[in-house]
Structure 1
Amino acid sequence: MTTADAVRRRLGLGRLLPLGGAADGAWLAERAAQAVLRRVAAQVPGVAAGPLRLALADPGAAATPAVPPPPSALPPGPLRIEADFGVVAQEPLPATASTLRTALFAAAAQLLDLDVTQVDLRVTELLDTAPKPGAPAHPPEVRAVAPTDLAGTAASRAPGVAHLTATLGTPVHLAPDHVRVEVATASGHRPLEVVRAVREAVTAALADGRPVAVLITSVDS
């Protein structure tokens, strides 16, 4: 892979969102979260989902993670969803917005384990008719990588791991003061449960006391 290819793949992840609290040492790729949230938004009657972004709700109140974060990762703290959407003109706008906001809050908490405290919505288009159901949004494709070391093998066998990925260059990054593992989650497994299973498996396999950070690059909900 060329340097340019690596940069394009890294930028394609979007922001690396804090997953759980400061002690969890976990992050979720924004594009993985977007795929899930946009699918949920598209199921709200009368809504045509548009661009959706996630950011820290209050950057000044963010905490320091217990484990060194991946490059450019956001620090732990509550998140804000910003979403654009089109709406059927005949429907009461406040009611539709309220339904969409509730759906996004629920999906963030129940499907992604993200701490979202704000959902900011913006109507960008008034539609004459309800949008036709489109193809369901699938998790972004990430290249599966076979484990090549003790930590990678342990992580790949943890409950809820679909496979290892290597978007940041390698599925397992071994540093003197920590270990970082990159994975995709399997359907039916909540992200934080997978993170904790991966951490437990890698910690037991290495048995050297280094803290383990986990980056989830794809979620199959």
Structure 2
Amino acid sequence: MTKIIHDQVWPGSTLPFGGQTHALRIAERAASAVLRRAADEVPGVTTVSCRLARSDLFTGVRVIMTLTAEVNRPLPETAGLVRRSVADTCGHVLGMVVTAVDITVVEVHHASV
């Protein structure tokens, strides 16, 4: 019996999206994958982790990311590009409002030639 329970897919925590009706929900893991991809589209950035936390009762979320970055531009500029990419993707693809994108850079490296 225990084996059957462990083999079932559990989506983990879910978040409302697509409006204030609460009729649509998305697994945090799925939303995180979409937002990791958005951050990774910024040249020189690799996402290490991405978590989402509901920031209000409707569709607002706080995104918490850790990443590595190349020193091909100032880090504040890189962080700004990541924030814009994540917020745009969160709004246009997931239908969620981003209240904050917290970024921690855990490694800085030089561009590979």
Identity of aligned residues (%): 35
Which blocks of at least 5 consecutive residues in structure 1 are unaligned?
63-75, 131-221
Q: Is residue 46–residue 91 contact of structure 1 (8 Å, CA) maintained in 2?
A: no
Partner of 2:85 in structure 1?
103
Q: Is residue 20–residue 115 contact of structure 1 (8 Å, CA) maintained in 2?
A: no
Partner of 2:52 in structure 1?
54
Q: Does 2:45 match 1:43?
A: no
User: Relative to total residues, which structure has the larger strand share, 1 or 2?
Assistant: 2
Q: 2: distance between equivalents of 1:23 and 1:30? A: 18
Per-residue deviation at 1:129? 2.0
One-letter amino acid of the structure 2 residue matched with residue 16 of structure 1: T
Partner of 1:17 in structure 2?
15
Give SS of 2:101's match: strand
Q: Does 2:104 match 1:118?
A: no
Alignment of 1:128-143 (within 5 A): 128-129=110-111
Give SS of 1:36's match: helix
Kindly provide the CA deviation profile for residues 123-150 of structure 1, in whole angstroms up to 9, marking residues without a partner as x.
11111225xxxxxxxxxxxxxxxxxxxx
Q: How many residues align?
A: 110
Per-residue deviation at 1:86? 0.6
One-letter amino acid of the structure 2 residue matched with residue 3 of structure 1: I
Alignment of 1:139-150 (within 5 A): none
Q: 1: distance between equivalents of 2:6 and 2:69? A: 39
Distance 1:77 1:111, change over 3 A: closer
Which blocks of at least 5 consecutive residues in structure 2 are unaligned?
none
Q: Is residue 36–residue 47 contact of structure 2 (8 Å, CA) maintained in 1?
A: yes
Partner of 1:215 in structure 2?
none
RMSD after superposition: 1.8
Q: Is residue 59–residue 96 contact of structure 2 (8 Å, CA) maintained in 1?
A: no
Which consecutive segments of 4 or more residues in structure 1 shift more than 2 A?
20-24
Partner of 2:7 in structure 1?
5
| Bigger RCO (CA 8 Å, 6+ sep) | 2
One-letter amino acid of the structure 2 residue matched with residue 27 of structure 1: R
Per-residue deviation at 1:91? 2.2
One-letter amino acid of the structure 2 residue matched with residue 94 of structure 1: P
Q: 2:74 aligns with which of 92, 103, 114?
A: 92
Per-residue deviation at 1:24? 4.0
Q: 2: distance between equivalents of 1:125 and 1:112? A: 29
Give SS of 1:2's match: helix
Q: 1:127 aligns with which of 100, 106, 109?
A: 109
